[in-house]
Amino acid sequence: MIDSKIVGIRSVLLTVALIATASIVLRAQFDIIPKPQSVRPGIGVFLLDRSTTVDSPPDHRSREIAKFLADSIRMQTGISISKNRTGNNRIELRFDPKIVDGEAYRLTVSESRITIEAGDTKGLFWAVQTLRQILPSTRGEVVAIPAVVINDRPEYSYRGHMLDVGRHFFPVEFIKRQIDLLSYYKINTFRWHLTEDQGWRIEIKKYPRLTDVGAWRKEADGSKYGGFYTQRQIRDVVEYARVRNVQVIPEIEMPGHSVAALAAYPEYSCRQKPLKVTAEWGVHKDVFCAGNEHTFDFLKDVLDEVIELFPSPYIHIGGDEVPKDRWRECPLCQQRIRSEGLKDEHELQSYFIRRIQQYLESKGKTLIGWDEILEGGADRNVVVEVWRGNSEAAKALAGGHRLIVAGPFYFDTPIKNKTLKEVFFTDLTSIPSYFENRDLVLGAECPLWTEHVTPVNAESKLYPRLQAFAEVTWTGNVGDFDDFKRRMALHYAHMDSLGIAYGPEDKAVAEYGIVSLPAIDAWRLTGVKGFNDITFRYTTDGSEPSPRARSFAESLDISRPLLIKVAPFRNGKKVDLSRSFTLTANTAIGASVTYADPIDKRYAKAGESALIDGIVGSREYNDGIWVGWQGADMDAVIDLGRPRRFTSVSVNFLQQSSSWIVLPRRVSMFASEDKETWVELKAIDTGANAMDMNTSIRTITFNQPKAIIARYVRVNAVRFGKLPAGHNGAGGESWIFADEIIIR
Ligand code: ACM
Ligand code: ZN
């Protein structure tokens, strides 16, 4: 009693003294994200200084949490709190058995002390994260923390973020930085999507080819791309996350999304023929053979090593997007269907998942899989991660499965199609029969798939949407968006201090427009900024723009054909992937062009002249430069305005059959002086093959040494037509994608 009074008087004196020197730092608001269940401000402040001590229960984890708190206070405020455990001005961690939810906590700040109470160390740790959020982030000798009582607990027990490190690789340092933020926002699960068609990223000692071969792919430009985590690095990440209250759940994809594994060990594929680690996105037909016993021996060996590395009670085995083509034609798979009395390949998938589930269960692990694991039936004990919508969620609940909702939180979705506000207003209770099955809804996860994401732009896709996700899953309420936005101000400052390259709330980091301006014989590249303080930097030698590359603010006029590569920079840091534009000399620039069938509106962003503007399409069909037709031929007539001399005509076509884009069957070129009499320059059958799933660009060229003089040029391309049986779009009409018709 006497002691605390003395401290009280001392505090008051100190407060007066420090206010006089204006070095006291006080924050009056509680801008906590996710919003706690209850915040009751009190009267007065707790003064934290060098004499403050941290006292904790004696168990190892509680002491570790106390140390994490002391370290955090030092990093955020510069104050090294006292190691003397008998001080009077203290922060006390203690267990309160009356707080039953393990993640729940009570944080009480009064003039004399800070008390952190929870039923479990999980809650103690989350209270520490809340305390960190109400600590002033400015440095001082003494910081004042306003009195408050916070009672808090999460609505959902599973709050996760998944990162796909298969399509692109993310270094350990990047992963740890994100785990720091997951933890800061009380997201308790990092889901590590470690294997994909395009790369196997986890060292497995018994099968070294998984990383020697499976971790590396050849990119379209011939370069080698890849990387993997050693078991030592994985243990390090798992331990780093454990200290921060984050469990790490690995995902080892099977039976699909396994081309990289099968490139390393083709003997576990149905055809048992050599495969390459693919550089193509999409769904691939080569999957693990479900008829071969050795496949299961291999997968059990792999899972044995995985289980050793990850203490989490869950193992995710993917299970999504499994084409049945190979199984249908594989004698071993067909034999398995007969011997097990299965109805079809869907039941074979179910058989596959059940075997893996039983194996994991024998090791004390629960299987998580994407919602396709319900096809053909699944054991009731598996956890279903729902990505294809509410009807899949309803199916999972009807089967009595626990589920995790992922579909509404795909953060690879462009920001303008999934804004901060939309994430904030995602209502998990809209799942059919949610209220009857509340206990089965474990929570949600925000996946980041990385076909078009690398460490350069990942943070712009994650934040600030991840803060909204944290709020949705912690509070379970559809809250007050204005209040959330007000609190975000503090969190933007926090992310700035950490150098996090977060994105805008409702628009792209950067967008581009490019047009040809025949009147001034130039092209104009325009950048649209997601933040006002973005600078566009560019190169013209094919290299990646650096922070020292030449820059433009709004637009750039380019007067000669070249390859320009441009990227947005903010605070000296590249904040989005670069974009390349290939500009080429073309006699047809400025000419007029007409089409027998109009260009599909979705792909005519640059207008009718897109085919003759000197801007050449990239390998991305939706780059705004390609033009497309579906269910129609391309028949373009170019009017050069007057007779012109030229020796060549060429045109590019895209093949990307997974997107239904197939080369035309036949391409013909003609010239005319009067648009009545046409001379055929070239006609060629392309040998178009809709079953070739590799992305490629085919250039059809007419070329002769002697110049032609003509006013009109016509290019006709005959569409492939209906997609054949076995194609993912069988029976649908193919697309023609063309760019650019170059006349020289
Ligand atoms: C998924 O997006 N294929 C789970
Ligand atoms: Zn097979």
Q: What is the pLDDT of residues 203-247, one digit of tens each?
A: 999 999 999 999 999 999 999 999 999 999 999 999 999 999 999
- Which whole number is the average pLDDT over 72-90? 84
Tell me the C-alpha distance between 417 and 411, whole Å: 10
Tell me the C-alpha distance between 38 and 729, whole Å: 52
Residue 402: name the closest of 158, 188, 160 by CA. Answer: 158
Nearest ligand (C-alpha, residue 328): 2
Residue 259 lies in a domain: yes
Longest dimension (CA), the chain: 109
Q: Which atom of ligand 1 is nearest to the CA of 447?
A: 2
Q: Which atom of ligand 1 is nearest to the CA of 385?
A: 4
pLDDT tops 90 at residue 22: no
CA of 165 to the centre of ligand 2 (A): 27
Residues with CB under 6 A from ligand 1: 320-321, 370, 387
How many C-beta neighbours within 10 Å does residue 362 have? 9
Residue 425's identity, in one-letter code, is F
CA of 327 to the centre of ligand 2 (A): 5
Minimal-distance CA residue to ligand 1 atom 2: 387
Q: Residues 471, 329: one domain?
A: yes
Give the per-residue pLDDT at 603.
83
Here the CATH number for the domain that contains residue 629 is 2.60.120.1190
Assign 77 to helix, strand or coil.
helix
Cβ neighbours of residue 531 closer than 8 Å, sequence gap 6 or more: 504, 509, 570
Residue 95 exposed, middle or buried by CB count within 10 Å (0-12, 13-18, 19+): middle
- Which whole number is the average pLDDT over 187-207? 98
- Which whole number is the average pLDDT over 418-433? 96
Q: In degrees rounded to 5, what are phi and psi of residue 697?
A: -120, 125
Q: What is the pLDDT of residues 534-579, one digit of tens each?
A: 999 999 999 999 999 999 999 999 999 999 999 999 999 999 999 9
Tell me the C-alpha distance between 679 and 14, whole Å: 96
The model carries a pTM of 0.93
Of 110-124, 137-151, 158-172, 327-341, give the lowest mean pLDDT range: 137-151
CA of 386 to the centre of ligand 1 (A): 9
Q: Residues 165, 53: one domain?
A: no
- Which whole number is the average pLDDT over 56-61? 97
In the listed set 152, 168, 192, which residue is the last one of a domain according to the structure? 152
CA of 226 to the centre of ligand 2 (A): 28
| Confidence bin at 608 (pLDDT 50/70/90) | confident
In the listed set 126, 152, 178, which residue is the last one of a domain according to the structure? 152
Give the per-residue pLDDT at 10.
33
Q: Residues 549, 590: one domain?
A: no
- Percentage, residues of the chain above pLDDT 90: 91
CA of 404 to the centre of ligand 1 (A): 13
Residue 48 lies in a domain: yes
Q: Which atom of ligand 1 is nearest to the CA of 257?
A: 3
- Which whole number is the average pLDDT over 631-636? 96
Q: Which atom of ligand 1 is nearest to the CA of 406?
A: 4
pLDDT tops 50 at residue 627: yes
Give the per-residue pLDDT at 1.
28
Q: Residues 591, 570: one domain?
A: no
Q: Residues 590, 670: one domain?
A: yes
Assign 234 to helix, strand or coil.
helix
**Which residue range(s) make up the domain with 514?**
508-581
Give the per-residue pLDDT at 23.
43
Residue 503 lies in a domain: no
Q: Residues 227, 352: one domain?
A: yes
Residue 560 lies in a domain: yes
CA of 246 to the centre of ligand 1 (A): 23
Residue 326 lies in a domain: yes
Residue 69 lies in a domain: yes
Beta bridge partners of 193: 164, 251
Give the per-residue pLDDT at 13.
36
412 vs 3 pLDDT, higher one: 412
Nearest ligand (C-alpha, residue 268): 2
**Candidate of 195, 281, 320, 451 to mutate for ligand 1, largest count of ligand atoms within 8 Å of Cβ:** 320
Q: Residues 116, 173: one domain?
A: no
Give the per-residue pLDDT at 431.
95
CA of 297 to the centre of ligand 2 (A): 15
CA of 197 to the centre of ligand 2 (A): 18
Q: What is the pLDDT of residues 248-288, one digit of tens each?
A: 999 999 999 999 999 999 999 999 999 999 999 999 999 99
Residue 673 lies in a domain: yes
Tell me the C-alpha distance between 134 and 494, whole Å: 12
CA of 132 to the centre of ligand 2 (A): 54
Here the CATH number for the domain that contains residue 526 is 2.60.40
Evaluate whether 557 touches 583 at the Cβ level (below 8 Å): no
pLDDT tops 50 at residue 24: no
Q: Residues 190, 166: one domain?
A: yes
Beta bridge partners of 679: 671
Tell me the C-alpha distance between 129 and 149, whole Å: 15
Kindly provide the b/e burial profile for residues 378-395, where b requires at least 16 CB atoms within 10 angstroms of the residue's own CB: beeebbbbbbeeeebbbb
CA distances from residue 180 to 7, 119, 157, 175, 457 in whole angstroms, order as listed: 35, 24, 19, 9, 18
CA distances from residue 133 to 112, 185, 217 in whole angstroms, order as listed: 20, 10, 43
Tell me the C-alpha distance between 609 and 621, whole Å: 17
Here the CATH number for the domain that contains residue 105 is 3.30.379.10
Tell me the C-alpha distance between 9 and 254, whole Å: 66
Residue 203's identity, in one-letter code, is E
Evaluate whether 345 touches 328 at the Cβ level (below 8 Å): yes
Nearest ligand (C-alpha, residue 330): 2
Residue 557: name the closest of 520, 579, 580, 525 by CA. Answer: 525
- Which whole number is the average pLDDT over 397-424? 98
In the listed set 519, 552, 581, which residue is the last one of a domain according to the structure? 581
Nearest ligand (C-alpha, residue 196): 1
Beta bridge partners of 600: none
Q: How many domains does the chain have?
A: 4
CA distances from residue 704 to 584, 645, 710 in whole angstroms, order as listed: 20, 12, 14
Sign of the alpha-carbon torsion through 199, 203, 207, 212: positive
Q: Residues 75, 27: one domain?
A: yes
Q: In degrees rounded to 5, what are phi and psi of residue 103?
A: -90, -5
Q: Residues 703, 609: one domain?
A: yes
Give the per-residue pLDDT at 28.
52
Nearest ligand (C-alpha, residue 445): 1
The overall average pLDDT reported for the chain is 94
Beta bridge partners of 639: 592, 712
Q: Which atom of ligand 1 is nearest to the CA of 410?
A: 2
**Candidate of 254, 385, 387 to mutate for ligand 1, largest count of ligand atoms within 8 Å of Cβ:** 387
Q: Beta strand 634-655 with 742-743: parallel, antiparallel or unpaired?
A: antiparallel
Q: What is the pLDDT of residues 60-69, one digit of tens each?
A: 999 999 999 9
**Candidate of 370, 392, 411 to mutate for ligand 1, largest count of ligand atoms within 8 Å of Cβ:** 370
Give the per-residue pLDDT at 85.
61
Residue 502 lies in a domain: no
Q: Residues 572, 617: one domain?
A: no
Minimal-distance CA residue to ligand 1 atom 3: 320
E strand residue ranges, 284-333: 314-318
Here the CATH number for the domain that contains residue 306 is 3.20.20.80
CA of 448 to the centre of ligand 1 (A): 10
Q: Which atom of ligand 1 is nearest to the CA of 318?
A: 4
CA of 324 to the centre of ligand 2 (A): 10
Nearest ligand (C-alpha, residue 332): 2
Q: What is the pLDDT of residues 144-162, one digit of tens each?
A: 999 999 999 999 999 999 9
Q: Residues 567, 715: one domain?
A: no
Give the per-residue pLDDT at 3.
33
Tell me the C-alpha distance between 134 and 130, whole Å: 7
Q: Which atom of ligand 1 is nearest to the CA of 370?
A: 4
